[in-house]
Amino acid sequence: MANVTVIGAQWGDEGKGKIVDWLASRADAVVRFQGGHNAGHTLVVGDTTYKLSLLPSGIVTGTLSIIGNGVVLDPWALKAEIEKLEGQGVVITPDNFAIADNCPLILPIHRDLDGLREAAAGTGKIGTTGRGIGPAYEDKVGRRAIRVCDLAHLDSLDLQLDRLCAHHDALRAGFDQSPVDRDALLSELCEIAPFVLQYAQPVWKRLKKVRKAGAKILFEGAQGVLLDIDHGTYPFVTSSNTVSGTAAAGSGLGPNATGFVLGIVKAYTTRVGSGPFPTELEDEVGQRLGERGHEFGTVTGRQRRVGWFDAVLVRQTCSISGVTGIALTKIDVLDGLDEVKICTGYRLNGQVYDYLPSHAADQEAVEPIYETMEGWSQSTAGARSYADLPANAVKYIQRVQELIETPVALVSTSPEREDTILMRDPFMD
């Protein structure tokens, strides 16, 4: 049996939560390996809706859930999320939840800096969630981060605080802000430390034991490949690598452990915040898709931008991330359209491109080349077998996999866990 790595193959918000929840019910461990609480997953189980930002989706089913070292952790957001889920009846203990002890922390000063930068950027803002993700990763790379393991040694944190505060005081001065209140920061860390430390451990050792026992591990990515710091639409990206290869470095297991790579792909395209979007629809069709798809961010509540399916981008992300098969979600949102379009290429300065250029100005200037297909009037919502789908919906799915050069492994037809058509089992590959 294979392990499975799940990533978003567009700009995030592809419906990973439902797919990861479906897979988590069959896994023995679920691992978050990058990002922070800027990621949002909505799970619908029966009559209950769970909204997760930081916790791995397996926590709802009681599956061993692990936050890996590649994640940046806001301990106060973690505490609030755990308390909310416990209020919904979810049991969370050190037996079923663990945090990498070498995981960097998001501090209040990171949130402050994130907000100050975005406010000062005006129309040039990146469109971050304002949760301090980027500044926390900067401090990690700058070797001045406070990590989970440091919470057990707060009495010897002076030198680290010196380096951290010296850096942030200079930045804050540039925004006409007062220096970091070092005593208040240390007090907050002292207060939250016992809560976090009960879950802290070298998770690479725990995962090694799980793997040695032959258990199935699900690696859960956040955001999408088009937001990857290297391969995304830079600078309108997140601050971590979102590609499948990060699962190894961000969990402490080697690359041979990541297994089947499942790319989650929405049957159309959405994006939150600023940045290029070649197939964006700003007409009645776009409004209809947004309303039917309930396109509002789980974390931010911001309305998502909506467009036609972009096969150029998904082919590119599948190649970059070594995707074995895709899970196609929200095909039911396309129900009732007379025609549907797929972007098959771009025009830029009289030249045809079969990929998205790297430069931001070129990305903004490309014009999509569309292929038009006949739509379907019958409903696909709730279908659980390929035979239940309208003929034109089947043609659409087949054309998508041809254009992205990657097979469809799953088709999701509603937010409900069981409304899933399985064409290729990732865990049995």
Catalytically annotated residues:
13, 41
- In whole angstroms, give the CA distance from residue 232 to residue 242: 9
Which strand (E) or helix (H) includes residue 262? Answer: strand 260-266
The helix/strand/coil state of 343 is strand
Q: 363 and 276 in contact (C-beta within 8 Å)? A: yes
Please answer whether residues 92 and 62 qualify as being in contact, where contact means their C-beta atoms are separated by less than 8 angstroms.
no
HEC secondary structure over 113-147: HHHHHHHHHHHHCCCCCCCCHHHHHHHHHCCCCCE
Measured between alpha carbons, how far is 28 from 423 in angstroms, rounded to an integer?
Answer: 22
- As a whole number of angstroms, the distance between CA 118 and CA 391 comes to 47
Collapsing DSSP to helix, strand or coil, 384 comes out as coil
Given a contact cutoff of 8 angstroms between Cβ atoms, the answer to whether 316 and 356 are in contact is yes
DSSP letters spanning 217-250 = EEEE--S-GGG-TTTSSTTSS-SS--STTHHHHT
* Alpha-carbon distance values, 251 to 98, 151, 207, 229, 427 (Å): 12, 20, 8, 18, 19
Residues in the chain: 429
> 3-state DSSP call for residue 362?
helix
The DSSP secondary-structure symbol of 386 reads: G
Identify the burial level of 141 via C-beta atoms within 10 angstroms of its C-beta, where 0-12 means exposed, 13-18 middle and 19 or more buried: exposed
Q: Which amino acid is at 362?
A: D
Q: Taking Cα atoms as reference points, which of 310, 347, 337, 311 lies closest to residue 392?
A: 337
Indicate the SS3 state at residue 95: coil
Distance, in Å, from the CA atom of 330 to the CA atom of 18, rounded to the nearest integer, reads 11
- Pull the structure tokens for residue 246: 């990060």
Q: Measured between alpha carbons, how far is 289 from 360 in angstroms, rounded to an integer?
A: 27
If you ran DSSP here, which 8-state letter would residue 322 be given?
T
**CA end-to-end span of the chain:** 7
Q: What does the block give as tokens for 139?
A: 């401090």
User: For residues 287 and 62, what is the distance between their CA atoms, to the nearest angstrom?
Assistant: 38
